[in-house]
Amino acid sequence: MKKVEICENVIEIEKYLRKVDSIIRRKGREILKDFEITVPQFSALQWLINEEGLTVGKLSKKMSLACSTITDLIDRMEKNGLVARKRDDKDKRIVRIKVMPKGYELVEKVLERRRAYLAEKLKELEKKDMILLSENLKSLYEAMEKEQSNSNK
């Protein structure tokens, strides 16, 4: 394994990414309280929107939770009209989870609140600095995602 030299900049970047992540998670939980949805339910909705037609088994792998936990989660979400179970058209033994309009609306409202919070915190940045921040975060994400994709092969 190649040894990576850790410079002072990397130490600072990691520290502030960790701090920003912590604040965003905390604020995200506060926002979710207003919508009467739990963090795992919101995470499940996001997975289900991004990858339509997941089964309980696939969703449990994505979220690193037991199938029984996901089943209970989906039961509550179904009761609240956020999702529905639907038999696969080709193989009736397979049950897929479908996000209902109420689920899409809830995710959009939560994301609007989160974006408004972030916009408020970034309002002092000049446009060029905001663009640079966005580009650099995207580059970091792509480098990390590439590594993640390669490890899943």
Question: Tell me: the pLDDT tens digits for 27-39?
Answer: 999 999 999 899 9
Q: What is the mean pLDDT of the chain?
A: 91
Residue whose token pair is 């905001």: 130
Give 123's Cβ-side CA count (13 Å radius).
6
pLDDT of 132 over the 90 cut: yes
Residue whose token pair is 């009736």: 92
pLDDT of 120 over the 90 cut: yes
Bridging pattern class, strands 83-87 and 95-99: antiparallel
Domain 8-122 has CATH 1.10.760.10: no
Longest dimension (CA), the chain: 56
What is the C-alpha separation between 115 and 111, in angstroms, rounded?
6
What is the C-alpha separation between 104 and 149, in angstroms, rounded?
27
pLDDT of 153 over the 80 cut: no
What is the C-alpha separation between 43 and 55, in angstroms, rounded?
15
Select from 117, 109, 120, 61 the least CA-distant residue to 82.
109
Give the pLDDT band (50/70/90) at residue 147.
confident
**The predicted structure's pLDDT at residue 1:** 47
Give the pLDDT band (50/70/90) at residue 6.
confident
Q: Mind listing the pLDDT tens digit for each residue in 77-103?
A: 999 999 999 998 888 889 999 999 999
Q: Mind listing the pLDDT tens digit for each residue in 30-83?
A: 999 999 899 999 999 999 999 999 999 999 999 999 999 999 999 999 999 999
Domain residue ranges in the chain: 8-122
**Nearest 5°: phi and psi at 123?**
-60, -25
Which DSSP state fits 124? T
What is the C-alpha separation between 107 and 41, in angstroms, rounded?
10
Q: Mark 11-33 as b/e (b = at least 16 C-beta within 10 Å).
A: eeeeeeeeeeeeeeeeeeeebbe
**The predicted structure's pLDDT at residue 88:** 86
